[in-house]
Amino acid sequence: MPITELLERNAEKWPMDPAIVELNPAIEDPRKLSWKEYSLIQSTVGHPYRREIEWIVFNEKANRVANMLIHRKVVKGQKVGILMMNCLEWLPIYFGILKTGAVAVPLNFRYTAEEIEYCINLSDTEVLFFGPEFIDRLQSVEETLNQHRLLFFVGEQCPDYAENYYTLVADYPSTNPNIEISEEDDAAIYFSSGTTGFPKAILHNHQSLSHAAVVEQKHHGQQKDDVFLCIPPMYHTGAKMHWFGSLLSGSKAVMLKGTDPEFILDAVSKEHCTIVWLLVPWAQDILGALDRGELKLEDYELDQWRLMHIGAQPVPQSLVKHWFDYFPNHQYDTNYGLSESIGPGCVHLGVENPHKVGAIGVPGYGWEAKIVDEDRHEVPQGQVGELAVKGPGVMTCYYHNKKATEETLSEDGWLYTGDMAQLDEDGFIFLVDRKKDVIISGGENIYPVQVEDFLHKHRAVKDVAVIGLPDKRLGEIACAIVELQPGYTCSEFELTEFCHDLPRYKRPKKYIFADVPRNPTGKIEKPKLREIYGGLNIVKGENES
Residue 255 and residue 229: Cα distance in Å, rounded? 6
Query: What's domain 4-237's superfamily in CATH?
Result: ANL, N-terminal domain (3.40.50.12780)
* 3-state SS class at 394: coil
One-letter amino acid for residue 343 of the chain: G
Whether pLDDT at 31 is above 60: no
User: Quick one: average pLDDT of 534-543?
Assistant: 49
What size, in residues, is the chain? 545
Whether pLDDT at 60 is above 70: yes
Identify which has the larger pLDDT, 527 or 388: 388
Q: What is the pLDDT of residue 537?
A: 53
Whether pLDDT at 347 is above 70: yes
Predicted confidence (pLDDT) per residue in 158-205, tens digit: 998 899 999 999 999 999 999 999 999 999 999 986 544 568 999 999
Q: How many CB atoms sit inside 10 A of residue 370's CB?
A: 19
Predicted confidence (pLDDT) per residue in 398-445, tens digit: 999 999 999 999 999 999 998 889 999 999 999 886 767 778 786 677
Mean pLDDT for the chain overall:
88
Q: What is the pLDDT of residue 473?
A: 67
* 3-state SS class at 465: strand
Residue 270 and residue 25: Cα distance in Å, rounded? 12
Predicted confidence (pLDDT) per residue in 478-525, tens digit: 999 999 988 899 999 999 999 988 878 889 999 999 999 887 667 788
Highest mean pLDDT among 147-156, 366-375, 519-528: 366-375
**pLDDT band per the 50, 70, 90 thresholds, residue 105:** very high
- Is the dihedral angle over the CA atoms 139, 141, 145, 147 positive or is it negative? positive
Residue 518 and residue 87: Cα distance in Å, rounded? 22
Give percent above pLDDT 70 in the chain. Answer: 90
Q: How many CB atoms sit inside 10 A of residue 80's CB?
A: 27
Predicted confidence (pLDDT) per residue in 301-335, tens digit: 999 999 999 876 667 788 899 999 999 999 999 99
One-letter amino acid for residue 482 of the chain: V
Residue 23 and residue 263: Cα distance in Å, rounded? 9
The domain segmentation of the chain, as residue ranges, is 4-237, 438-533
**Inter-residue contact 76 to 185 (CB < 8 Å):** yes
The pTM for the full model equals 0.82
**Beta strands 275-278 and 227-230, pairing class:** parallel
Q: What is the pLDDT of residue 44?
A: 45
Residue 56 and residue 11: Cα distance in Å, rounded? 4
Whether pLDDT at 154 is above 80: yes
Give 438-533's CATH code, choosing from 1.10.10.10, 1.20.1560.10, 3.30.300.30, 1.10.150.20.
3.30.300.30
